[in-house]
Amino acid sequence: MCARPTGRRTGRPRSAEADRAILDAARQSLVELGWGRLTMGDVAARAGVAKTTLYRRWANKSELVVDAVAVLFDELDLPDRGSLRSDVEGMVLRFAALLEQPAARTALMAVVAEATRDEALRRRIRQAVVDRQKRLVAEGRRRAQARGEIPPDDGDPAPQVDLVFDVIAGAVVHRALVSCEPVDGDWAARFTGLLLGGLGAGAPT
């Protein structure tokens, strides 16, 4: 039986092109102006849209900038490099390469600093960036289990996924943004060796 039309208007669908332009403009504004001088009006002007268009999508600049950061992180992937060690090294280097982008570096540091005073912003960062990127750790873990490099799950894997994510993300962010030291192949290899040794997932004997 076919459903009858209800006659309700669903409103104008969101434009993916407009969304991309807005998020690009938000990152550009942040790099050029900094957090304090960035305004929704400036972003709207750069994106070529009305300010009301922004407010239909984002309540304030905090939400807008977090989503602008999240889009960059969503582009991260985890190619299968054949081993857990290689997969982890690849993840570290890809994450570091993302942080080398001025837009990603500036936006991430700005929202993290602002989040120290804003619990709602912290929650949004966790949901839009942190929780979504844990997928890479979960994916790498499943591959390693399929290869027999680490044992199958004995209970809920979420706590270990959370911990591994925190260790990798924390180390790379600190190295790249706090210590301002290079995250190169040598550092990635040494870090991975330490991480896998701690997890008991070194080379098979």
**Separation of alpha carbons 137 and 135, rounded Å:** 6
Residue 124 lies inside a defined structural domain of this protein: yes
Residue ranges of the chain whose pLDDT lies below 70:
1-14, 199-205
In a domain, 6, yes or no: no
pLDDT at 14: 62
Number of Cβ atoms within 10 Å of the Cβ of 181:
10
Report if residue 184 sits inside a domain. Answer: yes
Residue range 60-99, pLDDT digits in tens:
988 999 999 999 999 999 999 999 999 999 999 999 999 9
Q: What is the CATH number of the domain that holds 86?
A: 1.10.357.10
What is the helix, strand, coil percentage profile of the chain, to 5? 70, 0, 30
The pLDDT of residue 200 is 53
| Residues spanned by the domain of 176 | 69-199
Q: pLDDT tens for residues 168-187?
A: 999 999 999 999 999 999 99
- Overall number of domains in the chain: 2
With contact defined as beta carbons under 8 Å apart, do 54 and 18 qualify? no
CATH of the domain at 22: 1.10.10.60
pLDDT given at position 199: 53
